[in-house]
């Protein structure tokens, strides 16, 4: 043991458990005075991440994050299962995101930008080819429906389970499966229309399969 340096200790924050969510839900329903701030500090990073991944490269959407929580607090009495607080919040978040996306499309249709390009906001830490691929994928997502985009982001980016997605979007599991398959087919078809992206994605998929 002599001469070996022990690894530095790090503080590991445990993942939130359902019990924690249930307790928070109880506090929110009971209108505890500090419940809103507790919910915000625990769940706002999740909401902000989901919004960032939904809308793609660009500035953080703190305004939408606040709107999500506004609706979340307003509808907290509709929560049936306190353990499903997170899914309840994600459902609200996806609804707000879809509405915003539709509004943005109308705005863009009315006030066309000269280039029609998405604003170029730098990514932090990612390799250039990853950033380029991400930009191209979001261009493709611009052309699909809000629901297809929701399914793609929740399933493939957020890696949510099908049952979670079904709960979040408020549809039966079988319907969710069918629509996810359709969305996947549409998006991959569009990706195959971009040779550079298709080649990159094929490489990614191949290496991932090889690793597994």
Using CB under 8 A, list all residues that contact another protein: 28, 30-31, 33, 35-37, 40, 44-45, 47-49, 52-53, 56-57, 60, 62, 65-66, 69-70, 73-74, 76-77, 123-126, 130-131, 133-134, 137, 152, 155-159, 181, 184-185, 187-188, 191, 201-202, 204-205, 208-209
Q: How far is the CB of 180 from another protein (least distance, A)?
A: 9
Q: Among candidates 109, 90, 106, which has minimal Cα distance to 164? A: 90
Q: How far is the CB of 86 from another protein (least distance, A)?
A: 16
Burial 185-208 (b: 16+ CB within 10 A, else e): ebbeebbeebeebeebbeeeeeee
Smaller CB distance to another protein: residue 106 or 207?
207
Q: How far is the CB of 177 from another protein (least distance, A)?
A: 11
HSE-CB at 141 with a 13 A cutoff on CA atoms is 25
Q: How far is the CB of 113 from another protein (least distance, A)?
A: 22
Smaller CB distance to another protein: residue 106 or 143?
143
CA torsion 50-53-56-59 (nearest 10°) is 50
Q: How far is the CB of 170 from another protein (least distance, A)?
A: 22
Smaller CB distance to another protein: residue 29 or 106?
29
Smaller CB distance to another protein: residue 175 or 207?
207
Q: How far is the CB of 1 from another protein (least distance, A)?
A: 36
Smaller CB distance to another protein: residue 9 or 210?
210
Smaller CB distance to another protein: residue 106 or 185?
185
């Amino acid at each position: 043991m002599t001469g070996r340096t022990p690894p530095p200790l790090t503080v590991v924050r445990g993942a939130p458990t359902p019990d924690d969510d249930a307790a928070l839900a109880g506090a929110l329903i009971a209108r505890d005075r500090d419940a809103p701030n507790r919910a915000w500090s625990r769940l706002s990073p999740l909401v902000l991440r989901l919004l960032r991944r939904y809308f793609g490269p660009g500035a953080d959407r703190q305004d939408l994050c606040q709107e999500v929580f506004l609706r979340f607090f307003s509808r907290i009495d509709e929560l049936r299962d306190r353990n499903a607080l997170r899914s309840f919040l994600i459902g609200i978040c996806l609804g707000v995101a879809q509405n915003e996306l539709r509004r943005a499309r109308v705005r863009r249709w009315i006030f066309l930008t000269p280039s029609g390009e998405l604003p170029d906001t730098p990514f932090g830490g990612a390799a250039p080819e990853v950033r380029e691929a991400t930009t191209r994928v979001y261009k493709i997502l611009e052309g699909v429906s809000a629901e297809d985009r929701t399914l793609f982001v929740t399933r493939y980016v957020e890696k949510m389970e099908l049952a979670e997605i079904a709960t979040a979007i408020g549809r039966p599991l079988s319907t969710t499966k069918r629509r996810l398959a359709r969305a996947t087919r549409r998006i991959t078809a569009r990706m195959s229309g971009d040779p550079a992206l298709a080649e990159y994605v094929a490489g990614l998929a191949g290496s991932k399969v090889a690793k597994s």
